[in-house]
Amino acid sequence: MTVVLLFPLMLALMGMKNDAAREIRRPQPGVQKSLAAGEKIYKKYCLTCHQADGSGVPNMTPPLMQTSFVLGDKEKLINIVLNGLKNVDIDDQTYNNPMPALGSVLKDQEIANVLTYVRNSFGNKAAGITMEEVKAARVKSK
C-alpha cells in the first residue's frame, strides 16, 4: 500500500527535479530563436563600436563582457538601447563616444532579441529579455 502510494509520488518528484534541471541548463523557450535573430541585429547596429568579441574600444566604447550594465537590471539596460547613453563613467572608465538612441530605429522584438543575444554572448550568461519587457520600458520612459 505504502509502496503503491510512494511510487507515483517519487515519480512525480523525479519529474519535477528533471524539469527544474532542464530549465537551468536549456535556454527558456524561444531564447534560441531570439539569439539567432539578435546576432543579426548585433552585427548590423552594434558590432562596429562594441566589436565582434564585445570588447568595445578603449576610452571610446564600453565592453559588453561581464559588466553590471549588461548583466544587471533589465529595465536600465533596455533604456540604454531605447534612449542612448552619453558621458557616463563605467567601472571608473570614461568612454567618449555616445551610444545612439535606437528606440526609433529598432522594434520592441528586435531590442529584446539583441539584448538576449548580448546577455548570452562574449562569456555572459543572464536571463533573456522579452518583447513585453521592452514594451513596458518604452511606455514607462515616454
Partner 1 sequence: MKKNILFPVLLATAVVFSIFSFTKIPPLAKVHKNTKPGADNAGLTLPKGFTASIVANNLGQVRHIAVTKEGDVYAKLARAKNGKGILFLKDNNGNLEEQSGFGDYGGTAMRIHDGYLYASSNTDVFRYKLNNKDEVTDPSNSETIVTGLLDRGEHNSKSVTFDDAGNIYVNVGAYSNSCQVQDRTPGSMGRPGCPILDSAGGIWQFKADKADQHYGDGVHYAIGLRNVVGLDWNQKDNALFVMQHGRDQLHDLFPQYYDAKISSVLPAECMYEIHEGDNAGWPYIYYDQIQKKQILMPEYGGDGKKTADKKYVDPVIAFPGHLAPNDLLFYTGNQFPEKYKNGAFIAFHGSWNRSPEPQAGYFVVFVPFKDGKPTGKWEVFADGFAGAKDISSPGKAVHRPCGLAQGPDGSLYVSDDVKGTIYKIVYNKK
* Chain residues in the site for partner 1 (CB under 8 A): 45, 47-49, 51-53, 55-61, 63, 86-87, 94, 96-98, 100-102, 104-105
Closest distance of CB 44 from partner 1, Å: 8
Give the CB-side neighbour count of residue 79, counting CA atoms within 13 A: 13
Closest C-alpha among 38, 29, 30 to residue 110: 38
If the CB atoms of residues 85 and 136 are measured against partner 1, the closer one turns out to be 85
- What's at 44, amino acid-wise? K
Work out the number of other CB atoms within 10 angstroms of the CB of residue 37: 17
Grid-cell match 527544474, residue found: 20
If the CB atoms of residues 113 and 130 are measured against partner 1, the closer one turns out to be 113
Q: Which residues pair with 99 in a beta bridge?
A: 85
Closest distance of CB 93 from partner 1, Å: 9
If the CB atoms of residues 27 and 98 are measured against partner 1, the closer one turns out to be 98
If the CB atoms of residues 32 and 97 are measured against partner 1, the closer one turns out to be 97
